[in-house]
Amino acid sequence: MPDQEEPNTRGLFGGVFARGGVEADDAAWLQAMLDAEAGLARALERAGLAPAGAGEAVTAAARAEKFDPNELGGFAALTGNPVPGLARALARRVPQSAVGAVHRGATSQDIVDTAAMLLAKRAIGVMQADLARAAGAAAGLAETHRASIMIGRTLLQQAVPVTFGLVAAGWLTGVDEAREGLAAVGAQRLAVQFGGAAGTLASLGEAGPQVTALLAEELGLARPVLPWHTERLRIVDLGAALARVAAALGKIARDVTLLAQSEVGEVSEGSAISAGGAGGASPAGGGSADARSKDPQAPAPSPRRGGSSAMPHKRNPVAAIAILGCTRQVPGLLATLTAATEQELQRAAGAWHAEWEPLTALLRLTGSAASWAAELLSGLVVDTSRMAANLAATKGMPLAEHVASLLADVLGGVQAHDLVAEAGARAVSAGLPLRDVLLSVPKLEDRLLAAGVTAEQIDAALEPSGYLGSADAFITAALDAHQARENRHG
């Protein structure tokens, strides 16, 4: 659970859309740009292009709290980006002997792009921790509920029986595959940007490649083959990896909202500390009605988790809803990044600028969704008795396919299908169990007797536990794959 002050410090909507430890705001951007400038100064010193101590001096001055983002934003209106103002401000804060190491050889895009890579690297580390927690919880659900039978639903209609363990295994596999994609991007595609005015590093002479390598080492980023000012596949790859995470988490959240509906009631979100308090869930909205009636001046109770402003009886699936609120924004943001890849010659006129806010939002929203998902899956309450009741209420209809397959051996596929379809239609119209119709309607009963199909065989075909196919094997495969991944990554 994040710090209780987080919703206040991150703005009105921050508790939903900026939850967790991913930092992708102005302060984080500013520090990342300063880190890029400091890393460059250290690289220049190591290459013999800046005096001893210059790197340390610039690094000491490159602290975001020493700069005014609003002032830098004003300068950005004059230059099209905040880096020229930042470089000047940084130079004023270092000793004269180190001024020559500030921004030497770089262009504004070098600093912003490298900062974006640093921001992404830090965000990915936070997300991976939350996703690991979510995956671990999904694995626990899959193992615990291997044999928890429920009705499967296709096109939002009742289909055939499945197990909740298989549902959770599907969630697990999606999260693990998204984690792999994110890890690959983090390890291979986050590279420094250092090309100077037009991608030649002409101002550094022949030392350009050496400084690039040292800069990559200083910042813990990959060294690209050459500057990528207008070749934006790294940004697209990062955006796509984030979108894959959002897709996996959105799938889980959508399933939870459907299964948590009052009419379904098969899962619910666990209780959690409310944003305004430090204790467990409180009854009737979080406070004592008696205390309030005795002291009208007593502070109003904190909102309870899942509460409604108008309907006191409601307990909404807040975490699932918040995840969907985050993930629904992601496709449009990725589309903007993709559209911005068409960039002119050696520097884009607007397309590069169009990346900044969508990428920031992608990092923030995906990180928030991952944090919500870790809580959602760790506290998910599964009501197996409600699952059993919902399955029983279907009166055997979801097993019609199984019955048809039993009869196909003796009647042929088409005749078996038609017989069971006729029985199903009669059962639905009369509100009767499928078994009763199959074994009590003379026309159908006679055909079954003629085919040598016994009541015991029909009963067996209508037993949900006998028609789960490879569900258990699939759960095992998902858990084995998850464990193998954890072993590989320690």
Span 212-269, pLDDT tens digits: 999 999 999 999 999 999 999 999 999 999 999 999 999 999 999 999 999 999 999 9
- The candidate with the shortest Cα–Cα distance to 38, out of 96, 109, 86, is 86
Residue corresponding to tokens 């590989």: 488
pLDDT tier at 160 (50, 70, 90 boundaries)?
Answer: very high
- The pLDDT assigned to 3 comes to 43
310 is written with which tokens? 């108008």
What does the alpha-carbon distance between residue 12 and residue 24 come to, in Å, rounded to a whole number? 16
What does the alpha-carbon distance between residue 62 and residue 46 come to, in Å, rounded to a whole number? 18
Span 320-340, pLDDT tens digits: 999 999 999 999 999 999 999
Span 75-103, pLDDT tens digits: 899 999 999 999 999 999 999 999 999 99
Mean pLDDT of 426-438: 90
The pTM of the full predicted model, rounded to 2 decimals, is: 0.88
Mean pLDDT of 157-168: 96
Span 178-214, pLDDT tens digits: 999 999 999 999 999 999 999 999 999 999 999 999 9
Other Cβ atoms less than 10 A from the Cβ of 450: the count is: 10
Domains along the chain with CATH numbers: 6-266+319-382 (1.20.200.10), 397-461 (1.10.40)
Phi-psi sector, 224: left (phi>0), alpha (psi -120 to 50), beta: beta
Q: Using CB atoms within 10 A of its CB, is residue 440 exposed (0-12), middle (13-18) or buried (19+)?
A: exposed
pLDDT tier at 275 (50, 70, 90 boundaries)?
Answer: very low
C-beta of residue 372 within 8 angstroms of C-beta of residue 19: yes
Rounded to a whole number of angstroms, the CA Rg of the chain reads 30
The fraction of the chain above a pLDDT of 70, given in percent, is 89
C-beta of residue 81 within 8 angstroms of C-beta of residue 91: no
C-beta of residue 401 within 8 angstroms of C-beta of residue 160: yes
Active site members = 308, 347
- The pLDDT assigned to 24 comes to 92
What does the alpha-carbon distance between residue 102 and residue 90 come to, in Å, rounded to a whole number? 7
